[in-house]
């Protein structure tokens, strides 16, 4: 077998495993809110509509993987752009949820685009709402240097998360036809606000804590990525000289990818920073859920 084909099959299997083992919880939490756009569909079409959603998701992820493998990090969205998309996605989910609650009990809801058009578009849009494991697989696609291998890694990941998305979509569409629809809408509003808040956190558009007084900082600092965030949450480093930040991973989760100095880094890794002025440097996990600070003094 050609070495390139072997690499593609290996990455396909790796992406599938990542989706099944690690991506199910994080990606359904971050991206599942988009399924609210399908929740008010007609009875009896659940399998077809969910199939269109998953097909759109597979197509967009496979295309993204091919582009990443071909062009590398040139086509990767920087953290600030992803932050904007997270805010937009959160607002969109809130809009879907409010629509669902308003239409509950209405005899004739306003006409909408057919599900066979709306579902694949919503599925494709999930590629714009990152989860921690997705970013890790994207970095693998970048490092593959091959469009075939990159597409295989991303396609395998989508296949691994497909059962969870199918189950969540089926449940949402069933619940939307019962008296629990309003409760589901309230939960979805909370999920949308959480997604938007994650975008704000990732973008750094919140006030940073005032730096604590500290003596001369170190030339190398160590930060542990855990399920609860980065520990210690604030470290002190020396200003005006190059500094190494050693990120070690204690647990699996979204903290396994960190956005620092305008780029994404898969952990464990050592990040070498150029000389920094006195003050705080903020970094966050790829999903914007957890943040940490380096106090340069």
How far apart (Å, rounded) are the C-alpha atoms in residues 169 and 171? 5
Shared domain for 21 and 155, answered yes or no, is yes
Does the residue 213 lie in any domain? Answer: no
- Would you say the C-alpha torsion 203, 286, 218, 239 has a positive or negative sign? negative
The enclosing domain of 226 has a CATH number of 2.60.40.420
Shared domain for 117 and 199, answered yes or no, is yes
How far apart (Å, rounded) are the C-alpha atoms in residues 129 and 88? 9
What is the reported pLDDT for 108? 46
Shared domain for 198 and 233, answered yes or no, is no
What is the reported pLDDT for 175? 79
Q: Which domain holds residue 135?
A: 3-203
Shared domain for 182 and 242, answered yes or no, is no
Mean pLDDT by runs of 10 across the 297 residues of the chain is 66 84 73 76 68 93 92 78 87 84 58 65 86 81 88 93 87 76 81 86 77 70 92 92 93 84 89 92 88 92
Looking at 148, 175, 203, which one is the last position of a domain? 203
What is the reported pLDDT for 283? 93
Which are the contacts of 243, defined by CB distance < 8 A and separation ≥ 6?
217, 218, 219, 220, 221, 237, 272, 273, 276, 294, 296
Does the residue 212 lie in any domain? Answer: no
How far apart (Å, rounded) are the C-alpha atoms in residues 56 and 207? 38
Asked if 138 and 76 count as a contact pair (C-beta separation under 8 A), the reply is: yes
Shared domain for 154 and 77, answered yes or no, is yes
Count of domains for the chain: 2
Shared domain for 166 and 239, answered yes or no, is no
Shared domain for 115 and 224, answered yes or no, is no
Which are the contacts of 220, defined by CB distance < 8 A and separation ≥ 6?
243, 244, 245, 246
Nearest to 46 by CA among 207, 174, 184: 174
What is the reported pLDDT for 210? 65
What is the reported pLDDT for 282? 92
Does the residue 246 lie in any domain? Answer: yes
Shared domain for 104 and 238, answered yes or no, is no
pTM, to two decimals: 0.78
Does the residue 237 lie in any domain? Answer: yes
Q: What is the largest CA-CA distance in the chain?
A: 69
Shared domain for 113 and 229, answered yes or no, is no
Shared domain for 52 and 187, answered yes or no, is yes
Does the residue 27 lie in any domain? Answer: yes
Does the residue 78 lie in any domain? Answer: yes
Which are the contacts of 171, defined by CB distance < 8 A and separation ≥ 6?
none
Does the residue 208 lie in any domain? Answer: no
Does the residue 127 lie in any domain? Answer: yes
């Amino acid at each position: 077998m050609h070495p390139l084909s072997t690499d593609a099959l290996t990455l396909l299997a790796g992406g599938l495993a990542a989706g099944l083992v690690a991506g199910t919880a994080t990606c359904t939490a971050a991206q599942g809110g988009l399924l609210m756009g399908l929740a008010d569909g007609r009875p009896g079409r659940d399998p077809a509509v969910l199939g269109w959603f998953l097909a759109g998701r597979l197509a967009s992820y496979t295309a993204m993987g091919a582009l990443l493998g071909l062009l590398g990090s040139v086509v990767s969205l920087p953290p600030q752009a992803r932050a904007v998309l997270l805010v937009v996605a959160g607002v969109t989910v809130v809009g879907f949820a409010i629509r669902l609650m308003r239409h509950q009990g209405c005899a004739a809801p306003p006409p909408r685009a057919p599900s066979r058009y709306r579902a694949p578009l919503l599925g494709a849009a999930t590629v714009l709402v990152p989860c921690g494991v997705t970013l890790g697989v994207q970095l693998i696609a970048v490092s593959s240097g091959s469009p075939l291998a990159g597409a295989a890694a991303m396609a395998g990941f989508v296949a691994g998360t497909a059962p969870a998305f199918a189950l969540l979509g089926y449940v949402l569409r069933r619940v939307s036809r019962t008296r629990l629809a309003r409760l589901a809408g309230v939960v979805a509003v909370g999920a949308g606000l959480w997604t938007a808040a994650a975008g704000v956190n990732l973008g750094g558009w919140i006030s940073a804590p005032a730096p604590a007084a500290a003596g001369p900082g170190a030339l190398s600092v160590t930060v542990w990525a855990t399920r609860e965030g980065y520990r210690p949450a604030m470290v002190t480093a020396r200003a005006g000289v190059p500094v190494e930040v050693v990120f070690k991973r204690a647990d699996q989760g979204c903290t396994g990818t960190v956005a620092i100095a305008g780029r994404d880094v898969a952990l464990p890794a050592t990040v070498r920073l150029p000389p920094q002025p006195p003050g705080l440097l903020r970094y966050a996990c790829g999903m914007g859920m957890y943040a940490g600070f380096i106090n340069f003094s």
